[in-house]
């Protein structure tokens, strides 16, 4: 009984309940909704935003936010494709270059936010425009292709009927959730997001913690962009457009507080899965696709409202 009460108190349970309800409703309306092929397609579709969501979760728990992740994903993908196509670099060098670009954008966000004390909302919104502009300058607005055959084989593979991108996402979720819940760096992130001044007095390098979260978020944004690049086998400058909104929606729906100090990576996973179930369910039941966006907004506002009420009622 004690174990059951503990399980019911977990924040992820609040996401699982509507997830099960929505899945049951859509399965009733469309018996093919939970077909293995449909479920595999849903899981594959959430991988790219999900990879970024792992980093965004850590960053928002630390009390900051990154609005530039979609543009950074696109810039990293195009930079990686340019290195492989135009510079003739091996795939490994191209991938490393894309990751480095993402990390550099994240580091700049961290410096501007932490050292210059410019609010993250403004700093990362500015970076969104910078990264998107550099993206189009690098590729002159045209897709970069063809890419190496080995990259195409990786992107087109379907291990376990899913994709390498989704498996990478799952590994990151497990590692990120473990780190955040059980390790010293994870406790430091919670402390910084919960009360920065108290964390500073306790000897925690708050600026370093936030900066590291910015860098990690940028790296994972770059990784997500390159995973999609591998799947479509082209360095498309439009990669990542709109991802920042989906990432933030998934993280907030997953229970991460906008005030910092609260949330888990597992919660983000289920939040993203809930979004994907609702979107796919509306498609298979023949609802106008624009209602997907409306539904995401309603769910997000509800999640933020619940979070705000919990915050106001906390001692």
Domain-located, residue 72: yes
255: left (phi over 0), alpha (psi -120 to 50) or beta: left
**CA-wise closest residue to 164 among 177, 148, 152, 147:** 152
For the chain (315 residues), the mean pLDDT of every run of 10, in chain order, is 55 78 91 90 94 98 97 98 95 97 98 96 97 96 94 93 96 97 96 95 96 98 98 96 93 89 94 92 83 80 66 54
Looking at the DSSP bridge assignments, the partners of residue 235 are 144
If one counts the domains in the chain, the total is: 1
Contact yes or no for 243/55 (Cβ under 8 A):
no
Cα–Cα distance for residue pair 222/229, rounded to 1 Å: 10
Cβ neighbours, 10 Å, residue 87: 10
- CB-count exposure of residue 261 (10 Å: 0-12, 13-18, 19+): buried
Q: Distance of CA 22 to CAs 50, 66, 100, 213, 264, Å? A: 20, 30, 40, 33, 22
Domain-located, residue 227: yes
Domain-located, residue 1: no
Q: Which residues contact 284 (CB under 8 A, 6 or more apart)?
A: 26, 29, 30, 32, 33, 38
Domain-located, residue 63: yes
Contact yes or no for 239/69 (Cβ under 8 A):
no
**CA-wise closest residue to 272 among 250, 252, 256:** 250
Cα–Cα distance for residue pair 59/37, rounded to 1 Å: 34
Alpha helices in the chain (DSSP H): 2-9, 13-29, 36-45, 47-61, 69-85, 91-110, 120-139, 149-156, 164-182, 184-194, 196-201, 206-232, 243-253, 265-284, 290-313
Can you read off the two tokens belonging to residue 246?
A: 């989906």
Largest CA distance in the chain: 63
Q: Domain containing 27 — which CATH number?
A: 1.10.3470
Can you read off the two tokens belonging to residue 113?
A: 């936010």
Four-CA torsion 24, 26, 27, 28, nearest 10 degrees:
90
- The predicted pLDDT at position 134 comes to 97
**CA-wise closest residue to 106 among 220, 243, 261, 226:** 220
Cα–Cα distance for residue pair 261/259, rounded to 1 Å: 7
Q: Which residues contact 298 (CB under 8 A, 6 or more apart)?
A: none
Structural domain range at position 23 = 12-308
Can you read off the two tokens belonging to residue 56?
A: 């965004």
- The predicted pLDDT at position 283 comes to 86
- The predicted pLDDT at position 17 comes to 83
What SS3 class is residue 143?
coil
Rg (alpha carbons) of the chain, rounded to whole number? 20
Domain-located, residue 315: no
Domain-located, residue 5: no
What SS3 class is residue 123?
helix
Domain-located, residue 6: no
Domain-located, residue 207: yes
């Amino acid at each position: 009984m004690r174990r059951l009460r503990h399980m019911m108190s977990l924040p992820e349970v609040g996401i699982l309940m509507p997830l099960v309800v929505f899945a049951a409703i859509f399965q009733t309306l469309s018996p093919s909704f939970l077909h293995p092929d449909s479920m595999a397609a849903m899981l594959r579709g959430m991988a790219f935003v999900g990879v970024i969501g792992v980093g965004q979760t850590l960053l928002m728990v630390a009390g900051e936010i990154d609005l530039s992740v979609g543009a950074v994903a696109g810039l990293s993908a195009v930079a990686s494709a340019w290195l492989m196509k135009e510079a003739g670099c091996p795939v490994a060098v191209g991938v490393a270059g894309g990751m480095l670009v993402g990390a550099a954008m994240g580091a700049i966000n961290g410096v501007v936010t932490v050292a210059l004390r410019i609010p993250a909302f403004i700093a990362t919104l500015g970076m969104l425009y910078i990264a998107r502009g550099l993206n189009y300058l690098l590729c002159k607005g045209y897709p970069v292709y063809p890419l190496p055959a080995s990259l195409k084989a990786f992107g087109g593979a379907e291990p376990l009927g899913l994709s390498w991108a989704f498996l990478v996402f799952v590994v990151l979720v497990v590692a990120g959730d473990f780190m955040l819940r059980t390790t010293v760096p994870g406790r430091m992130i919670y402390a910084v997001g919960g009360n920065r001044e108290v964390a500073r007095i306790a000897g925690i390098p708050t600026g370093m913690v936030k900066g590291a979260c910015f860098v990690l978020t940028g790296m994972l944004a770059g990784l997500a962009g390159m995973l999609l690049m591998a799947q479509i086998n082209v360095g498309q400058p439009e990669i990542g457009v709109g991802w920042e909104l989906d990432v933030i929606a998934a993280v907030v729906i997953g229970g991460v507080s906008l005030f910092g100090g609260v949330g888990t990576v597992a919660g983000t996973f289920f939040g993203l899965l809930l979004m994907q179930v609702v979107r796919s369910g509306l498609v298979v039941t023949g609802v106008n696709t624009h209602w997907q966006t409306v539904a995401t907004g309603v769910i997000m506002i509800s999640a933020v409202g619940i979070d705000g009420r919990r915050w106001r009622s906390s001692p």
